[in-house]
Amino acid sequence: MKSDRKLVLEDGTGFVGTGFASRKDTVCEVVFNTSLTGYQEIVSDPSYTDQGVVMSYPLIGNYGINSDDHESRLIAPAALIVRDICDAPSNFRSEKTLCDLLLEADIPGLAGVDTRRLVRSIRDTGTRRALLTDIDMPVSKAVEIIKNSPVRHDAVKRVSCAVRQYYPAAEARFHVVAIDCGMKTNIVRMLNAYGCSVTVVPYDTDAIRILSLSPDGLFISNGPGDPEDVPEVIETLRALRGKLPMFGICLGHQLIALAYGARTYKLKFGHRGGNHPVKDLLTGKIGMTSQNHSYAVKEDSLEGTGLKVSHINLLDNTVEGLYSTEDPVFSVQYHPESAPGPHDECGLFEKFTELMGKCARNGGSKDAKKN
C-alpha cells in the first residue's frame, strides 16, 4: 500500500505509513503497549485518553471487534499506530473490524510503520508528543503545531461518568462506592462476582455525599493523566481516611498515595502491557500483571505517611503496591481485573471483601487495625 500519512515526533523524528480509519490530524502523546492480544480492551480503556498507542505486536485486528468486550462506553486513544492492520478478521464473535470501530469514533490510525524502531525510540529517549498528519506536511510545520498545541489537564473530567450508576450483585454481601476516574467495565464485573453491589459515582463526588450512600468500602478506579490533575479526588480521599476500607487501582493507587502525603513522578516511558512481573513483598510471591500508566509513586516520599510498600516491579523496582499501617487501605499500580489477562492477581478483590468484612465485624474501620 502507498504511504500517505506520517507520525512526526516533537524532536522532528518521522515515521511514514499508510493511514486507516479517520483521516484527521491529531496531536497526541505517543506510548507503546507490549500486549499480544486485547487491542479492543486497549482502545476502549479510558486511561489512554489523549495518547497515540503504538502496538509492539506486529499484527493487529485479526479477530475483529465484538460488543461484549468493551472496557468502557468510550473509544479512548487519540490515535493507533501498528505494523500491520487486519481488515478481514476471522472470528465467530466478530461484529465489525477494528478499522470500522475507529472510523465510527473519528480516531485516526497509521499502519505500515516500523514499530520496532518507534518502540525503541520511545524506550531510549522517552515519551514525546507527536502529530499524525498527511505525508506532505513539512516537518518544521508539524513540530510547530505540536509546540503550539496545549497539553490538556482535564482528562479525568472528560471520561468520568456524569451521573451516579448502580450495579447490583446477584448475591450481595457488601455495598461498594466506586469513584470513576475512567473506570473499566471489568472492575465492576469483578466486584459483582465477589458479592459487591457497586454504586459508581463521578470523580468530583465529595466525602459527605459518599458517606450518605452508606458504603461498606470505597474503590478508586484507574484513569488517564497526571494524578495531581484531580485534586478533587485527593481531597475526598483525605477526608475519608480511616472512615472506610479503601482499595485503589492504577490512578487510584497514585491518588491514595497523594492523599496520604506522598508524591508521584512521571516515568520515562511508562508501563503498558500484559507481561510485567511484580513481587509481593509480604508473601514473596511473583505474579505477572497487566499495566497501563505513565506515573508512579516516589518511594522515598512515603516516610512519615503511614504507607508501606507491598509490591515492586521486578523490571525497574518501581512501587507497585501500598498498604496503610493505620487504616484499612491498600492499593496496586497494576490491573488485577484485566481482560484478557493475565489473571494472577484477581485475589485482591477477595482481599478487599475480607477487609470490609473485618471492619464490619469490629464496628468500623478504625477498630479493624487493632485485630
Residues noted as catalytic: 250, 335, 337
Q: Kind of pairing, strands 264-280 and 307-313?
A: antiparallel
Q: Kind of pairing, strands 307-313 and 165-167?
A: unpaired
- Mapped onto helix, strand or coil, the DSSP state of residue 351 is helix
CA distance 186 to 188: 5
CA distance 87 to 64: 8
Query: In this structure, what DSSP letter does residue 46 have?
Result: G
Place of cell 459508581: 200
Helices 347-361 and 185-193 pack at an angle, to 10 degrees, of 60
CA distance 136 to 133: 8
Query: Which of 107, 102, 147 has the alpha carbon at shortest distance from 129?
Result: 147
Q: Are 252 and 334 in contact (CB under 8 A)?
A: no
Q: Residue 299, by phi and psi: left (phi above 0), alpha (psi -120 to 50) or beta?
A: alpha
Residue 281 phi/psi, 5-degree rounding, is -70, -20
CA distance 104 to 84: 20
C-alpha cell at 359: 471492619
CA distance 299 to 308: 9
